[in-house]
Chain A
Amino acid sequence: MRTLVIGGSGSGKSEFAEREITKLHPAAASDKYYIATLMPFGREDEARIARHREQRATRGFTTVEQYTALAELQLPTRGGALLECLGNLAANELFAPEGAGTEHAEAAMLRGVIALESQCDDLIVVTNDVFADGETYEPETENYIAVLAAVNRKLAQRFDRVVEVVCGIPIALKGEIA
């Protein structure tokens, strides 16, 4: 089953996604992968990564770092995977020197997710709701918003379930939450 999880900052989407993949794959670490896309820049990111790592520690994830070129990732075994998150992956593909760049970022992300789903039984992809602050940004940020939104729409259409998390509460937008 493929699930897209969306929420704003501090919405509790990560905790929900981790609980959900753990429900589907409660067993040993060997069959449950956490694919981290957050490229750490400074202490705030390190603190965030530490917090997330702590949340995962008891749930038996194998952590894999993949900042760009998701399509190249090979999982050693088949099982469950949690990709966190598309917001960072989009930023890396668009803005990092090794990223796919403006022209190819969207395609690279979609190709990556499709390659990933073919390697696991259950996939949860976490994405970010960055679309409702009423601001207008400089073109490169507007393009970032457009790319992330396009990938969200395409995955929402493709996936079995779409869940929005609000204040830690999951709301099914497509499919059902068990």
Chain B
Amino acid sequence: MVLVIGGKANGKLDFVRQHLGYNNADIANATLDDRPVLNNLQDLMLADPSSAESIFPTLLTKSVIICDEVGSGIVPIDRAARHWREAVGRLCCRLAEQATAVIRLQCGIAILIKGDLTWK
């Protein structure tokens, strides 16, 4: 599994389509099904931040997981918002541990931060 992270609208989805060889039919949006790519993991977690444990094994079967980085702001006063950010961060740490490669997108530039992966 390859984990692709970065701030909102930093080019993660484009990178996966253009450089990792997936098309729209391969990409599920914030839902778990048979498609090999999961986009917007952070939105999937919005529904139930405590679901990380139960969905973790399924996440490991994906080829690519795309997730927004959501932890780089003022800690929200709202409890649910706070827990969601924390849960998304922790889940990404666990996924990164298991991932063969982790790629971070910044301004559309892909930076390999873990593993050994080349792309076209």
- B residues in contact with A97, CB < 8 Å: none
B26 within 8 A of A: no
Residues of B within 8 A of A167 (CB): 3, 5, 89, 92-93, 95-96, 102, 113
B75 at the interface (CB under 8 A from A): yes
**Interface of A, helix, strand, loop or mixed by DSSP:** loop
Determine if A101 is an interface residue (Cβ-Cβ < 8 Å). no
**What bracket does the count of chain B residues touching chain A fall in?**
20 to 34
Whether A8 contacts B89 by the Cβ 8 Å rule is yes
Interface status of B88 (Cβ within 8 A of chain A): yes
Bound CA span A7–B113, Å: 15
B96 touches A168 (CB 8 A): yes
- Contact at B74–A8, with CB atoms within 8 Å? no
| Segment with Cβ contacts to B, from A56-64, A69-77, A127-135 | A127-135
Known A-B contacts A135-B74, A166-B69, A167-B3; A10 and B90 likewise in contact (beta carbons under 8 Å): yes
Q: How far is the CA of A162 from the CA of B102 in the complex (A)?
A: 21
A169 close to B69 (CB less than 8 A): no
Q: How many A-B residue pairs have CB under 8 A?
A: 76
**Across-interface contacts of A144 in B (CB, < 8 A):** 74
Contact between B96 and A129, CB atoms less than 8 A apart? no
Query: Which chain A positions have C-beta within 8 A of B70?
Result: 8-9
Task: Give Cα distance in the complex from A44 to B86, angstroms.
Answer: 12
Chain A interface residues toward B at CB < 8 A: 7-12, 15, 44, 129-135, 137, 141, 144-145, 166-169, 171
Q: Show 14 residue pairs from A and B whose CB-CB distance is below 8 angstroms, ordered by the A residue.
A: A8-B73, A9-B86, A10-B87, A12-B89, A12-B93, A44-B79, A129-B72, A130-B74, A133-B72, A166-B69, A166-B113, A167-B3, A168-B96, A171-B113
- Extra contacts, 12 of them, besides A10-B90, A131-B73, A132-B73 (Cβ < 8 A), are A9-B86, A10-B71, A10-B85, A11-B71, A44-B79, A132-B72, A135-B73, A137-B74, A144-B74, A166-B102, A167-B113, A168-B97
